[in-house]
Amino acid sequence: MRSKRPFNRPRGRDLLAGATLACILLTAPAAAQLGGGGSCEADAGTLSGFKPTDCLQTGGTYIGGITNGDAVIPAGYQRIFVLTEGPDLVIQQTSNNPIFLVTAIGQYTVHTLVYDPNTLDLSIVVPGVTTGFDVNALLIQGGGDICASLDVTGTTILVDNPDAGGLAADA
């Protein structure tokens, strides 16, 4: 079993370069103390990127992450992967695998979520509207009261347009 860190101690990495202390604290693990002396054992673990940038292809481009094998998934809990876009972490898709098909250029982040479907109803997520921050705020690690764990940092992939324009010779 992994050693538990105090809830308020960040993992030592920022959500984005230059992130504020509030953003840094969002990366704290969900191993927080619950009322009544229990604890939340869920831990989303971390992901590694296998391709930090990619070109958008006709029909879309597959992007994703690789699990580092450090998640803690208690009995009755599930793990899903969440794709967000931009610095506001707007949720685009969810999947049982950390691979997603994207059809537009942008900066995407793949996150891991470990949750109990009896306490976190994912039907509240509206793709294109709900953010990773909204979900995190429901969790103990984000100041809420639900035992679950979201790797807010995730792994980021930049999908760009491969069309670099054309070259013209001087006359």
- pLDDT, tens only, 125-171: 999 999 999 999 999 999 999 999 999 999 999 999 877 666 777 76
Distances (CA, A) of 120 to 31, 36, 115, 138, 145: 17, 20, 7, 8, 10
Among 37-41, 55-59, 100-104, whose mean pLDDT is lowest?
A: 37-41
User: How crowded is the C-beta side of 134, counted as CA atoms within 13 Å?
Assistant: 16
Cα–Cα distance measured from residue 97 to residue 51, given in angstroms and rounded to the nearest whole number: 16
- CA-based torsion, 51, 16, 14, 150: positive or negative: negative
- Phi and psi dihedrals of 47, rounded to 5? -120, 150
SS3 4: coil
Considering the entire predicted model, what is its pTM? 0.75
Domains of the chain: 46-160 (2.60.40)
Q: Is the pLDDT of residue 75 over 70?
A: yes
Q: What is the mean pLDDT of residues 30-53?
A: 74
pLDDT in tens, 77-99: 999 999 999 999 999 999 999 99
